[in-house]
A = this chain, B = another copy of it.
Amino acid sequence: MAAAAAAASPATGVSYPSTTRKALLPTLRVSRKFKVAAAVSADPAPAFQSVTAFAPATVANLGPGFDFLGCAVADASLSLGDTVTATLDPTLPPGTVAIADVTSPSRPHLAARLSRDPLRNCAGIAALAALRALGVRSHAVSLALAKGLPLGSGLGSSAASAAAAAKAVDALFGSHLHGDDLVLAGLESEKAVSGFHADNIAPAILGGFVLVRSYDPFHLIPLPCPPALRLHFVLVTPDFEAPTSKMRAALPKHVAIKHHVRNSSQAAALVAAVLQGDATVIGSAMSSDGIVEPTRAPLIPGMAAVKAAALGAGALGCTISGAGPTAVAVIEGEEKGEEIARSMIDAFWSAGNLKATATIAQLDRAGARVISTSTLS
């Protein structure tokens, strides 16, 4: 009905069949109840005419934290993330969302690949979920998405769009949602687009390192690291598309108990090192995955050589970012960043015959944030 109409005519706003705030939960099969930061009216009034929000790239898995650990990363110019502007749109049916614009300044071909159907666009799905969580019934929203991240690179591109959209919509109506609720709204999008896992969307919303402890009950544990820890990430993305589904299919179905114990203890060490601010242990734990990385690395030409090159050039650790193909190396301070980046790019070329580009990012402690607003006219 609404969805079918939207598919036929993307300019039409779309709402989910149900508009109750609790409806997200059964869909997501998580048992978290929405916690709302402030008393929210059943149908909150808008606080702005439009809101622009940015959400950062994310590195999921971090080696042994497969499917439950991730962190947010950003560079100084905020090019490493997506931006969404949510604007009140009285021309749309109330309670609906439309995608007004998709741009990709640094990759013009990318914009054309993204659906304008809000039910098939990460930003659209998350915006609708946020509207529903807020209980918005009297207003509609149009979205303009500016993609800073490439698709299918292992940097949480879909999560960044979803996080920016959920954050923008929530701010548009007065910022009533709790961080976990924004994650749930984004998870609705991740589920539709890249699988039911929160290890990108949680840090994209909350910033820093986040442990996705469980889905039922839904429990995220932010892992704040000491301010003095100057963690930087060298992100090297080869010109190679590694579809998440293929990388998932490469996963082992079972693991030997001794590998389970070894990987678990390394993941636990990674969590301790983040909280205690030990960059050396963060790096070596990230490098230690004996379960997932060994099955995925061979699918990314040159990855083993890239890891060796990063470690050889002084990185504290290196692994595949998310499902790849981006390789992520971790360092403390950014002094060695360029040299490590060069050695990783060279290794992708010499061992994998792939061109690659590098970004040196730092830990993004803020997560999704509002970067501009325009007041109600």
Residues on A lying within 8 angstroms of B by beta carbon are 64-69, 211-214, 219, 221, 223, 251-257, 260-273, 275-276, 281, 285, 288, 291
Contacts and interface: CB of A to CB of B under 8 A. Distances in A.
Contact of A268 (B257, B268, B281): B268
Nearest to A199: B265
A244 to B, nearest CB: 16
Contacts of A271: 268, 271-272
A251 B257 contact: yes
A123 B370 CA distance: 62
B254 A68 contact: no
A272 B65 CA distance: 14
A269 B219 CA distance: 10
Given A253-B257, A257-B291, 7 more contacts: A68-B261, A68-B265, A213-B268, A214-B269, A219-B269, A255-B255, A268-B270
12 contacts: A65-B264, A65-B268, A67-B265, A211-B265, A213-B269, A214-B266, A214-B269, A219-B269, A254-B255, A255-B257, A257-B291, A264-B268
Contact of A281 (B64, B221, B270): B221
Contacts of A291: 257, 260
A293 to B, nearest CB: 14
A212 B265 contact: yes
Nearest to A255: B260
Contact of A272 (B214, B221, B266, B288): B221
Contacts of A67: 261, 265
Nearest to A64: B264
A221 B277 CA distance: 13
A226 to B, nearest CB: 12
Contact of A275 (B66, B212, B262, B276): B276
A263 to B, nearest CB: 7
Contacts of A263: 260, 264
A135 to B, nearest CB: 30
Nearest to A224: B276
A178 B265 CA distance: 23
A219 B285 CA distance: 11
